[in-house]
A and B are shown apart, each in its own frame.
Chain A
Amino acid sequence: MAGKNTYEPVPVEKLRFARTELRIHDTVPATKPIGYMKDAWIRFRRNKMSVAASLIILAIFIFAVITPFINNFEMSSVDGIYAKARPKLKAFERSGFWDGGMNLRLNNRYYMYLTAIGAGAEDVYGAGVTWEDGINSPYYPVISRGEAYDSAGAEFRDARVDSYYIVGFVYVSMTREMFDDVREWEAETGINVFYPMIDTRSRYMDPGNARDANFWYRHAANHAPLNARGQRMDTIEEVMEHGFADNYLRDSEGNARYWVRQDRGMLQVRVLYYNYYQYMNGHEPMHALGADGQGYDIWRRLASGILLSFALAASVSVINLTIGAFWGAAEGYYGGWWDLIAQRICDILWGIPFIVVAALFQLHLVQTGRVSPFWGLVLAFVATGWISTSYTVRTQFYRFKNQEYILAARTLGAKDFRLMFKHIFPNAIGTIITASVLVIPSTIMIESSLSYLGIVAFNTRTTISLGTMTSNAQGFLATDPHILFWPSLIISLLMISFNLFGNGLRDAFNPSLRGTEG
């Protein structure tokens, strides 16, 4: 029923004046104008994932900076005896978690050898010691052990062994004055360092074990201990019953001797290394994150490795970004013959094998001392690294070059330079930022494979990089995985966070996203 529209007039008293003053002004905007950067920051803040990522990066950076103050190792402090020791915290000792323990399958002779370390530690004066003394000694290396079982014709037991106490006794050469100094320290602290010397040329000693200071008990050729009457003891029960027969070097009155003359002025002594370490360093051997293949503290080296890798990757990424952006922009924008030539130059540079370039840089620049290893590697990366950024920028420019707004700007008389960097570049900034941010973790990864292939190495006493730590650890992956675990954990964290950070940045710098998020 499409009737004619009829309107009644609105009664006048329902109306009132909206505004009475004569001149009308714009109201002053309540909020300040949001510039491009501020808008980007707002959008970035709202993206939870990338904020978390940047916090992680910050945390890693702070970890690297404060470690020297809270870690009791120097960059250069190293002890080869405790190389590859497992991560251990004093609070967790013998707890089964973070206790420096490693799981081994011990045959009887290995189990007796370890118990002998505990027993030996309780027998400072060579007066004799029982199996129980060994088990109850604080230096007893075995943390926990399973039941004995037979396999391949012998008796075995699975055990968790402390990678610090397993070292046991070590032969050390020192001057007489140092010997006296250690005696003094023993008196002050009550900690025993010197233990009786072993008669290494006696017939109860297998010559192959002469260098191992833990073989203080009489034993046959196959390491099986001998009892006081010289009979071989193959089972644990026999050793429990008879105990170990010591093979100490004794003077005419039968007292154990604590040193042997060497060369003209030196003394060879047998020390319980756990305590000798305390004499040398003032604190118990304890690596929170474990020790690496050479005996450096992983935690301390990791911190300085992070800083070096950050510096290396950041400088490479910045240089790559600047060169790549300009080169790619010129290529993408002008196209035609210039693009062909520029692209071919890129192909040539890209065609040159990176490994040979890196090797040549090392050979001709670094080894001859003209350039430090750090800048030598940065040069190697940058020599061909910028091409990938230029490639991304070139693709972006081709993508946006014929967009309508560019054509419009050109008709309005905008110069090439302004077109490129005012209009096209901001659009491409998202992908470029992501690409250049991703360069940082991938540089660290490439540096690690370069050290694996033996082309570059930041391996000195005071400088180390994450990549070199990873490649050094590759050899120990099967036996000591903790050496590789920490650097690759950091690299993965960096990779994840830089990636999310990059995504966050890209969304933030994408003006078209303004106001679309929820």
Chain B
Amino acid sequence: MRMFKYVCKRIGLLIVTFFVIVTICFSLIKLLENEVPLGMQAVVELARREALGYNKPIIEQYGIFLRNVITKWEWGYSWHINYMMPAQETITPRLPSTLLVNAYSIIFCIPVGIALGIWAAIKKNKITDHIISTSVMLFVSVPSFVYAFLMQYTLGFRLGFFPVIVSSLHDAGGSWFTRTMLHSMILPVLALSFGSIAGLARYTRAELTEALTSEYMLLARSKGLTRSRAISTHAMKNAMVPVLPYIFGIVLSVFSGSIIIEAIFAINGVGQLYIRSIHLRDYDVFVVTSAFYTIITLASYILVDLSYGFLDPRIRMGER
């Protein structure tokens, strides 16, 4: 029962934190100045800003914003990214492509990453460990746009195995799951996965090697468990404690999408939306995207903390 009280407290705090972060984001973006166009357009632009209430003090604007959100679920309008589109609706058309590419890359990289990590940990300091570790190091340290470009140039352009960019809905026959669409998504999925596979493998290897050297492993082996049995029941469970948040981190990145990969493979995803809303000072879109990411991040924190208890009964998050 005590855990239930803890979860309720955490959710209550989540709402407060969410509220604070949105307020900070709202005022932060307004602090960045907004460039006025030149010549005759300046007069019209200034009149439009006056009409939209941008010249009012920030607190007053925030009041109006809150009233609109609570009463009419209206998060404002985008003016510089999609003209006159309600801010919250700028996310939904861009979500499918980011979600799908990232989901495929997760399905591909979590099992592969963990498997490599385990294999390297078991064969510690042997040849396979060195090969895996150095290749993992390479992929973690080389910027993502380098191997994204190399794959696109060799596999896509020179050899022509895969299309160079993700196909549009119209070319793919109207739905996200046709053959041409999936075929065109293979390169970005690979480009996205290398980074996560490498990170996951390195993290799993590190945690597993530490678990393998602990006393309970000695105990398990001396109790007569075979090496693989001991590893799978005891070492793996303990190694997973810190690895799970990393997996949640990767799951979370589903929504953020990588800005560079989406630019290179012309994916109309959520990635650029965030950066463009800052550069173009599209206030309402920035606030909505920040709120969207914040709610997901905070929710996943709770899940991660709970998962500790789930894996290692001795750990009770938040206890005295």
Stretch at the interface among A117-125, A185-193, A486-494: A486-494
Contact with B along A463-493 (1 / 0, CB 8 A): 0000000100010011000001000100110
In the bound complex, do residue B213 and residue A516 qualify as a contact, i.e. CB atoms below 8 Å apart?
A: yes
Contact with B along A220-243 (1 / 0, CB 8 A): 000000000000000000000000
In the bound complex, do residue A496 and residue B137 qualify as a contact, i.e. CB atoms below 8 Å apart?
A: yes
Say if the beta carbon of B297 comes within 8 Å of chain A: yes
Pick from A350, A360, A477: contact of B149, CB below 8 A: A477
Pick from A49, A336, A494: contact of B320, CB below 8 A: A336
Pick from B9, B149, B315, B319: contact of A478, CB below 8 A: B149
Interface residues of B in 71-94 (CB under 8 A from A): none
For B145, what are the chain A residues with a Cβ–Cβ distance below 8 Å? Answer: 474, 477
In the bound complex, do residue A335 and residue B32 qualify as a contact, i.e. CB atoms below 8 Å apart?
A: no
Say if the beta carbon of B99 comes within 8 Å of chain A: no
Cα distance A350–B252 when bound, in Å? Answer: 14
In the bound complex, do residue B17 and residue A356 qualify as a contact, i.e. CB atoms below 8 Å apart?
A: no
In the bound complex, do residue B28 and residue A347 qualify as a contact, i.e. CB atoms below 8 Å apart?
A: no
In the bound complex, do residue B213 and residue A513 qualify as a contact, i.e. CB atoms below 8 Å apart?
A: yes
Say if the beta carbon of B318 comes within 8 Å of chain A: yes
Give min CB distance, B19 to chain A, whole Å: 10
Cα distance A49–B320 when bound, in Å? Answer: 41
Give min CB distance, B166 to chain A, whole Å: 19
Say if the beta carbon of B119 comes within 8 Å of chain A: no
Question: Quick one: given A351-B298, A484-B146, are A453 and B275 in contact (CB under 8 Å)?
Answer: yes
Question: Quick one: given A344-B17, A356-B25, A363-B32, are A441 and B318 in contact (CB under 8 Å)?
Answer: no
CB nearest neighbor in B for A398: B315
For A431, what are the chain B residues with a Cβ–Cβ distance below 8 Å? Answer: 242
For A344, what are the chain B residues with a Cβ–Cβ distance below 8 Å? Answer: 13, 16-17
Question: Quick one: given A339-B318, A340-B318, A344-B16, are A352 and B143 in contact (CB under 8 Å)?
Answer: no
Say if the beta carbon of B51 comes within 8 Å of chain A: no
Give min CB distance, A160 to chain B, whole Å: 19
In the bound complex, do residue B17 and residue A347 qualify as a contact, i.e. CB atoms below 8 Å apart?
A: yes
In the bound complex, do residue A352 and residue B146 qualify as a contact, i.e. CB atoms below 8 Å apart?
A: no
For B137, what are the chain A residues with a Cβ–Cβ distance below 8 Å? Answer: 492, 495-496, 499-500
In the bound complex, do residue B28 and residue A495 qualify as a contact, i.e. CB atoms below 8 Å apart?
A: no
Say if the beta carbon of A430 comes within 8 Å of chain B: yes
In the bound complex, do residue B320 and residue A441 qualify as a contact, i.e. CB atoms below 8 Å apart?
A: no
For A491, what are the chain B residues with a Cβ–Cβ distance below 8 Å? Answer: 141-143
In the bound complex, do residue A503 and residue B213 qualify as a contact, i.e. CB atoms below 8 Å apart?
A: no
For B143, what are the chain A residues with a Cβ–Cβ distance below 8 Å? Answer: 445, 448-449, 470, 488, 491
How many inter-chain contacts with C-beta < 8 Å in the A-B complex?
Answer: 120
For B260, what are the chain A residues with a Cβ–Cβ distance below 8 Å? Answer: 449, 452
In the bound complex, do residue B141 and residue A494 qualify as a contact, i.e. CB atoms below 8 Å apart?
A: yes
Question: Quick one: given A359-B278, A360-B32, are A340 and B9 in contact (CB under 8 Å)?
Answer: yes
Cα distance A441–B140 when bound, in Å? Answer: 10
Give min CB distance, B144 to chain A, whole Å: 9
Say if the beta carbon of B59 comes within 8 Å of chain A: no
Interface residues of A in 434-462 (CB under 8 A from B): 434, 441, 445, 448-449, 452-453
In the bound complex, do residue A335 and residue B319 qualify as a contact, i.e. CB atoms below 8 Å apart?
A: yes
CB nearest neighbor in A for B29: A356
In the bound complex, do residue A402 and residue B17 qualify as a contact, i.e. CB atoms below 8 Å apart?
A: no
Say if the beta carbon of B55 comes within 8 Å of chain A: no
Say if the beta carbon of A353 comes within 8 Å of chain B: yes
Cα distance A401–B264 when bound, in Å? Answer: 47
For B298, what are the chain A residues with a Cβ–Cβ distance below 8 Å? Answer: 347, 351
Say if the beta carbon of A55 comes within 8 Å of chain B: no
Interface residues of A in 342-363 (CB under 8 A from B): 344, 347-348, 350-353, 355-356, 359-360, 363
For A495, what are the chain B residues with a Cβ–Cβ distance below 8 Å? Answer: 137, 140-141
CB nearest neighbor in A for B153: A478
Say if the beta carbon of A512 comes within 8 Å of chain B: yes
In the bound complex, do residue A352 and residue B213 qualify as a contact, i.e. CB atoms below 8 Å apart?
A: no
Say if the beta carbon of A410 comes within 8 Å of chain B: no
For A512, what are the chain B residues with a Cβ–Cβ distance below 8 Å? Answer: 213-215
Give min CB distance, B289 to chain A, whole Å: 9
Say if the beta carbon of B46 comes within 8 Å of chain A: no
Pick from B241, B274, B275: contact of A399, CB below 8 A: B241
Say if the beta carbon of A395 comes within 8 Å of chain B: yes
For A347, what are the chain B residues with a Cβ–Cβ distance below 8 Å? Answer: 17, 21, 297-298, 301
Contact with A along B275-317 (1 / 0, CB 8 A): 1001000000000001001100110010000001000101101
Give min CB distance, B97 to chain A, whole Å: 21
Pick from B20, B149, B153: contact of A348, CB below 8 A: B20
Cα distance A491–B18 when bound, in Å? Answer: 36
For B9, what are the chain A residues with a Cβ–Cβ distance below 8 Å? Answer: 340
In the bound complex, do residue A352 and residue B28 qualify as a contact, i.e. CB atoms below 8 Å apart?
A: yes
Pick from A351, A363, A445, A449: contact of B294, CB below 8 A: A351
Contact with B along A361-378 (1 / 0, CB 8 A): 001100000000000000
Interface residues of A in 261-304 (CB under 8 A from B): none
Question: Quick one: given A360-B32, A503-B206, are A335 and B318 in contact (CB under 8 Å)?
Answer: yes
In the bound complex, do residue B32 and residue A348 qualify as a contact, i.e. CB atoms below 8 Å apart?
A: no
Cα distance A228–B166 when bound, in Å? Answer: 54
Residue of B143, B293, B298 with most partner-chain A CB within 10 A: B143
For A513, what are the chain B residues with a Cβ–Cβ distance below 8 Å? Answer: 213
Cα distance A15–B315 when bound, in Å? Answer: 60
Say if the beta carbon of B31 comes within 8 Å of chain A: yes
Say if the beta carbon of B210 comes within 8 Å of chain A: yes
CB nearest neighbor in A for B214: A512
Cα distance A351–B137 when bound, in Å? Answer: 29
In the bound complex, do residue A352 and residue B278 qualify as a contact, i.e. CB atoms below 8 Å apart?
A: no
In the bound complex, do residue A492 and residue B141 qualify as a contact, i.e. CB atoms below 8 Å apart?
A: yes
CB nearest neighbor in A for B205: A503
For A356, what are the chain B residues with a Cβ–Cβ distance below 8 Å? Answer: 25, 28-29, 32, 278
Cα distance A348–B19 when bound, in Å? Answer: 10
With A355-B275, A477-B145, A500-B137 known, 12 other A-B pairs at CB within 8 A are: A335-B320, A336-B318, A344-B13, A347-B17, A351-B17, A356-B278, A363-B32, A398-B308, A430-B210, A441-B141, A488-B141, A492-B141
A-B contact pairs, 7 of them (CB 8 A): A351-B297, A353-B25, A355-B274, A355-B275, A441-B141, A496-B137, A516-B213
**When A and B form their complex, which 5 residue pairs have the shortest distance between CB atoms, in order from nearest?**
A495-B141, A496-B137, A351-B21, A492-B141, A351-B294
